[in-house]
Amino acid sequence: MPMKKQIENFLNWYRDLYGRELYIADEKGMSIDGDGEKMEALKTFHLQIKDCQKCPLGKTRTNFVFGVGNPNAAIMFIGEAPGYHEDQQGEPFVGRGGQLLNKLLAGVGLRREDVYIANILKCRPPNNRDPLPEEVVQCIPYLHRQIEMIQPRVLVALGRIAAQNLLQTKESLGNMRRRVWAYQDKPLIVTYHPAYILRNMNMLDAGVEDMKFVLEQFNQTQ
Ligand code: URA
């Protein structure tokens, strides 16, 4: 059965069983009040860094993948690095993994436009290899600046590589999920990378549960 159908079936099954969407974002909403200032500041920052050549990935990228979403988002998702489709389109999580991420967000009543999505590396590593430490060192200050500007209430690391780089640990993903970590003074939650779930569809329930955990933690920050 195609992946999309499986997820739809799962969400429909949940709705039929419990008579509601998997989780409803609470009435306070997902974005922090703000005007267009953050949007402008992010645009300016994007323009400042988009031609970055601090590491060799600047030579091999098609597009610099800055980040996307609500500049006033209260939840920020952080992946590892752009893949092929992201490199082609200049936007994070637009491939099959991105489609699954959108579904997982929908499962907890969120839209992609409600949150902010970025990566640790802004440029695609050749053949999607793991980010090198020297690339992370050069690139992660851009992410830090984005976090400072957006001021999300909760951060979510998508996948082991993103989480290990953010938390400077070698812990397994299994040990990192379902706990609240801290990154830059903000709560950080770790969940599976959508691409991992796509390769292991038996992990879909766990991915859905993790999103629910994110929402629960988010609601506790208010
Ligand atoms: N994987 C990531 O970690 N980030 C993307 O943007 C796409 C795939």
Q: Distance, CA 17 to ligand 1 centroid (Å)?
A: 33
Tell me the average pLDDT across 58-76: 98
pLDDT tens string 2-43: 666 677 677 777 666 655 555 544 444 456 656 689 999 999
Q: Distance, CA 19 to ligand 1 centroid (Å)?
A: 33
Q: Distance, CA 16 to ligand 1 centroid (Å)?
A: 32
- Dihedrals φ, ψ of 156, to 5°? -130, 120
In the chain, domain spans: 35-221
pLDDT tens string 130-160: 999 999 999 999 999 999 999 999 999 999 9
Q: Distance, CA 194 to ligand 1 centroid (Å)?
A: 9
User: Which of 86, 127, 193 for a ligand 1 pocket mutation test, highest count of atoms within 8 Å of Cβ?
Assistant: 86
Name the CATH topology of 35-221: Uracil-DNA Glycosylase, subunit E (3.40.470)
Instruction: Examine the pLDDT at 98 and tell me if it is beyond 50.
Output: yes
Q: How far apart are CA 36 and CA 39, in angstroms?
A: 5
pTM: 0.88
**Which ligand 1 atom sits closest to the C-alpha of 98?**
7
CA 133 to chain centre: 20
**Which ligand 1 atom sits closest to the C-alpha of 65?**
6
Q: How far apart are CA 219 and CA 154, in angstroms?
A: 10
